[in-house]
A and B are shown apart, each in its own frame.
Chain A
Amino acid sequence: MKALLELSNVGMKFDTPKGTFEALKDVNLKIDSGEFVSLIGHSGCGKSTVLNIVAGLLQATDGGVILDKHEVTEPGPERAVVFQNHSLLPWLTSFENVELAVKQVFKKTKSKAEIRDWVEHNLELVHMAHAMHKKPDEISGGMKQRVGIARALAMQPQVLLMDEPFGALDALTRAHLQDSLMEIHAQLGTTVIMITHDVDEAVLLSDRIVMMTNGPSATIGEILEVKLPRPRDRLALADDPTFVRCRQQVLQFLYEKQRKVEPLPKRESPKAEADRKRA
């Protein structure tokens, strides 16, 4: 089977006053339809850059991204993004936020009633039907993120891109949302790329975990396949040998192979840090 999404030799260079800074180099990745892939790595390693390139919000300076035989050149609803801080329009209710997306994507193919039903359906999917007509200010952080997910799902994307979607949430809310996300993934079979910092989250949710090396010139270090049967249950998995081994491997990658020392109190520039490493 041919991959749905293919990143080939993706590289990213930024021009800075101190010269060119190479953030990413030679990122190669193939993702199959229906797969759930996590990107994990230390902060500043370019995970978000990879995701933004797939989203089309950034243009890679080398290589390219192909989704379903088409090269990605600009953002679009077939690559819906769930942003870290929900990014709901604060002046619209949850319903209106999702409706804005649905109207934009389906205005030619769906009738008014169908649009309304589809908005409601997607809010029900994330268990937000009860707060449909509340504005973002009136609901909790977890609920906002649910609405953000509903908005992305309602676009019926070929790939769902999630940029640390649960990063700003407390542990309990995060667990709830992870369960919801697994449920939705099982139900819809959406292809998902998710950035995360959280090792447990990555192992619990993913089919594959893509581990990235530290920048500059960050690239994919290792890819770990998580061979756990679905549906997965967080309690049962806690001492499942496969789960524990996967978790171990990711932790080893992050804290032994790609150990990152953050100098305190002053942060060094990426270049100075690289020089120090070489020495």
Chain B
Amino acid sequence: MVTLTFPTWMEPYRALATGKMSGEQWQALLRQLIWPVMGMAIFLLLWQLAAQRIDTSLGQFPGPVDVWEQAGSLIDEHQASRAKEAAFHERQEKYIASRLQQQPEWEPVYREYTGAPTFFDQIGTSLITVMSGFLLASMIAIPLGIVIGLSSTAHAAMNPLIQLFKPVSPLAWLPLVTMVVSAVYVTDDPLVAKSFLTSMFTVSLCCLWPTLMNTSVGVTSVSQDLTNVSRVLRLNALSHVRKIVLPSALPMMFTGLRLSLGIAWMVLIAAEMLAQNPGLGKFVWDEFQNGSSQSLGRIMVAVIVIGLIGFLLDRLMLMLQRALVWDKSSVQR
């Protein structure tokens, strides 16, 4: 006979299917499925009721059903745009082929499709920008955090600056970053767009701090016993950092990285919105300016997608943390 083993979280469903539910399994089913679904249902109901009572200059506030429809239409628009793009390329290929037949010496000119970016293009842009900004911030914050954690001199020198810049809103940085990027990044053949750099640097400036602070605290709180082990072994400075300090500080460092990525995502949307840089923030702003009867519904779709992506990014960091950190107890939910 074959025995099938189920993952633990599936146990209640298996028991439900076979009609043998224990009290504990009921509890688990309630906790995993029924309560979350109930919460969601109550939220949707309240949303619908509230939406009916709010009239804006752009029409009634969208309820769940309107938002669902708008999500569908955004998908349709995306597919339509992709189809148009494919058709454009096909026409271009045909044209070039036929012209080359008549004029073999002609150098063909390929043009890019220039349709407006769809909702999904904007998601892609935002994701690339947020990851670039976050990586840049991490590359600065982790080494700097280690230095500050190891040297009380560096800590004393840097701490006032950190405290000063940490609470600054992205909106305050944005004009400065924009001007600096425009002034410094002057090239005829840009590798990346200026707007991308502006958004990326703004994100980096704002999400640097949690990683920096947590890394330095993690490094400072390396246990005295382990430091003594390092001293008895006469590890040199580099080995001391590599073998003792970094692994010790890793759990704290990851806590910082997770916070940073969360902030990066929030900052990015605001920066894109204010600076009219491509991305989800711009989508929201464009819809707001557009002011059609569907705009609010489409903005609501963006809100939900922004939340969902933020949640997925956090899960991603959590998975990475679980895979890399030795101290499993330090990984919170």
Contacts and interface: CB of A to CB of B under 8 A. Distances in A.
Interface of A: 55-57, 74-77, 79-81, 83, 85, 87, 89-91, 100-101, 104-105, 135, 155
B233 A87 contact: no
B326 A75 contact: no
B234 interface: yes
B328 to A, nearest CB: 9
B232 A55 contact: yes
Contacts of A83: 225, 228-229
Contact of A90 (B232, B235, B327): B327
Given A75-B228, A75-B231, 5 more contacts: A55-B232, A57-B232, A87-B226, A89-B244, A91-B326
B234 A76 contact: yes
Contacts of A104: 233-235, 239
A77 B233 CA distance: 5
Contacts of A79: 232
**Majority secondary structure, A binding face:** loop
Nearest to A161: B232
B262 interface: no
B234 A89 contact: no
B229 A87 contact: yes
Chain B CB count within 10 A is highest, among A57, A77, A85, A91, for A91
16 contacts: A55-B232, A57-B232, A74-B231, A75-B228, A77-B232, A81-B228, A83-B225, A83-B228, A83-B229, A85-B225, A89-B247, A91-B250, A100-B243, A104-B233, A104-B235, A104-B239
Contacts of A75: 228, 231-232, 234
Interface of B: 223, 225-226, 228-229, 231-235, 239, 243-244, 247, 250, 326-327
Nearest to A152: B232
B228 A87 contact: yes
A127 B308 CA distance: 53
Contacts of A76: 232, 234
B233 A101 contact: yes
Nearest to A84: B225
Contacts of B225: 83, 85, 87
A163 to B, nearest CB: 10
A155 B234 CA distance: 12
A83 B231 CA distance: 13
Contact of A89 (B226, B228, B239, B250): B226
A27 B228 CA distance: 23
Contacts of B233: 77, 100-101, 104-105, 155
A77 B226 CA distance: 15
A89 B232 contact: no
A80 B228 CA distance: 11
Contacts of B235: 104
B165 to A, nearest CB: 33
A159 B326 CA distance: 33
A194 B188 CA distance: 74
Contacts of A135: 326
A156 to B, nearest CB: 13
Most buried by A among B232, B234, B327: B232
B236 to A, nearest CB: 10
B326 A90 contact: yes
B244 A81 contact: no
B247 to A, nearest CB: 5
A101 B231 CA distance: 11
A70 to B, nearest CB: 15
B22 to A, nearest CB: 31
Nearest to B228: A57
A196 B228 CA distance: 20
Contacts of A74: 231, 234
B78 to A, nearest CB: 46
A155 B326 CA distance: 26
A56 B226 CA distance: 15
Contacts of A155: 233
A76 B229 CA distance: 10
A239 to B, nearest CB: 39
Contacts of A100: 233, 243
A89 B243 CA distance: 9
A185 B52 CA distance: 85
A6 to B, nearest CB: 20
B253 to A, nearest CB: 13
Contacts of B244: 89
Contacts of A77: 232-234
Contacts of A90: 326-327
Contacts of B226: 87, 89
A91 B246 CA distance: 11
B245 to A, nearest CB: 11
A193 to B, nearest CB: 14
Contacts of B243: 89, 100
Nearest to B234: A76
A153 to B, nearest CB: 13
A227 B140 CA distance: 64
B326 A81 contact: no
Contacts of B234: 74-77, 104
A80 B234 CA distance: 11
Nearest to B229: A87
Which of A74, A90, A105: most chain B Cβ within 10 A? A90
A6 B214 CA distance: 45
Contacts of B232: 55, 57, 75-77, 79-81
Nearest to B235: A104
A104 B228 CA distance: 15
